[in-house]
């Protein structure tokens, strides 16, 4: 795969879909699909890190996922906890910095503790930022940002006419991160499912039928190569090669 380092995306976001269908195809319980999905997470994180991509945002648990059966939610939380515990040394060694977006306050105490510990331990790293979307919903994030801005206006810190795109962006969980250049969704559906609604405004969208547990290095590289073929215009006329400022 011929990738041009200069035009790689700075930020890749992924909707990791298809774990349940993968498990069903194998005649296994759904949780086995999520477990296999953790292997894909590890492979894609390693690949992103090796390529020097700045930010990788993974949709690991949506606000809507709380409506799944309790056993599945518990298993997902358990997998997340184990993943973080197992990966800490490697993250530190490889300069990976952990961040989250979403309602961390809604997660079980144990998961929150391990997240906060990992965030603290990796805070000084300057390689890949691994941003996990947990109990995340794009609309929920925008509502929280609107509330923050309204509260500041009520306190007299901000006039309504001063609220602009920059101020909204600064109130989002992703404050300080560049917008995703590329969104990948596995599992064959072509929708956003309440993911990064504000941040994906100008992102290139890449949909693949590959189920998340089958998604590995070569699929990730194929998505990046496809991205590099695209002309990004950001609403303007004329061409701009993907990844160029």
- Calculate ∠ Cα 79-188-77, nearest 5°: 15
Would you state the structure tokens that stand for residue 46, as one six-digit string? 């390693």
Does the footprint of ligand FPP cover residue 21 (CB under 6 A)? yes
Out of 8, 13, 31, 38, the residue judged to bind ligand FPP by CB under 6 A: 38
Catalytic residue among 2, 17, 140, 179: 17
Does the footprint of ligand FPP cover residue 37 (CB under 6 A)? yes
Q: What track of x and - describes contact with ligand FPP for positions 196 through 225 (by CB under 6 A)?
A: ----------------x-------------
- Shortest CB 219 distance to ligand FPP, Å: 14
Out of 20, 102, 138, 180, the residue judged to bind ligand FPP by CB under 6 A: 20
State which of positions 77-136 bind ligand FPP (CB under 6 A): 79-80, 83, 132
Question: Which of 131, 228 has the CB closer to ligand FPP?
Answer: 131
Measured CA distances, 2 to 43, 210, 222, 226, 228 (Å): 19, 21, 10, 11, 10
Q: What track of x and - describes contact with ligand FPP for positions 171 through 200 (by CB under 6 A)?
A: ----------------x-------------
CA 91 vs. chain centroid, Å, equals 17
Question: Which of 68, 232 has the CB closer to ligand FPP?
Answer: 68
CB within 8 Å of 147: residues ≥ 6 apart: none
Does the footprint of ligand FPP cover residue 18 (CB under 6 A)? yes
- Shortest CB 58 distance to ligand FPP, Å: 5
Contacts with ligand FPP by CB under 6 A: the residue count is: 20
State in Å, rounded, how far the first CA of the chain is from the last one.
23
> Is 17 one of the annotated active-site residues of the chain?
yes
Catalytic residue among 65, 94, 125, 194: 65
CA–CA gap between residue 176 and residue 108 (Å, rounded): 27
Dihedral over alpha carbons 116, 47, 62, 24 (to 10 degrees) = -130
Q: What track of x and - describes contact with ligand FPP for positions 43 through 82 (by CB under 6 A)?
A: ---------------x-x----x----------x--xx--
Q: How many CA atoms lie within 13 A of 191 on its CB side?
A: 3
CA–CA gap between residue 20 and residue 227 (Å, rounded): 27
Measured CA distances, 3 to 22, 225, 228 (Å): 29, 6, 8
Question: Which of 169, 207 has the CB closer to ligand FPP?
Answer: 207
Would you state the structure tokens that stand for residue 64, as one six-digit string? 């809507």
CB within 8 Å of 156: residues ≥ 6 apart: none
Residues catalogued as catalytic: 17, 65
Interface positions with ligand FPP (CB under 6 A): 16-21, 34, 37-38, 41, 58, 60, 65, 76, 79-80, 83, 132, 187, 212
């Amino acid at each position: 795969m011929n990738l041009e380092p200069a035009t790689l995306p700075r930020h890749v976001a992924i909707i990791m879909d298809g774990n349940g269908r993968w498990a069903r195809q194998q005649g296994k319980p759904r949780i086995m699909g999520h477990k296999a999905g953790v292997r894909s997470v590890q492979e894609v994180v390693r690949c992103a890190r090796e390529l020097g991509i700045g930010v990788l945002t993974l949709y690991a648990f949506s606000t809507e996922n709380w409506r799944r059966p309790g056993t599945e939610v518990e298993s997902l939380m358990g997998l997340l906890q184990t993943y973080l515990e197992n990966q800490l040394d490697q993250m530190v060694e490889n300069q990976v910095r952990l961040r989250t977006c979403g309602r961390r306050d809604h997660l079980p105490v144990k998961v929150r503790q391990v997240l906060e510990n990992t965030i603290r331990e990796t805070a000084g790293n300057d390689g890949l930022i691994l941003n996990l979307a947990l109990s995340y919903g794009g609309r929920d994030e925008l509502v929280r940002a609107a509330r923050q801005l309204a509260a500041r206006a009520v306190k007299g810190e901000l006039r309504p006419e001063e609220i602009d795109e920059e101020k909204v962006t600064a109130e989002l969980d992703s404050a300080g991160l560049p917008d995703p250049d590329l969104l990948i969704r596995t599992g064959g559906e072509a929708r956003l499912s309440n993911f990064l609604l504000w941040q994906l405004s100008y992102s290139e969208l890449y949909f693949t039928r590959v189920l998340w547990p089958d998604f590995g290095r070569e699929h990730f590289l194929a998505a990046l190569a496809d991205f590099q073929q695209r002309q990004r215009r950001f609403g303007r006329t004329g061409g701009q090669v993907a990844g160029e400022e």
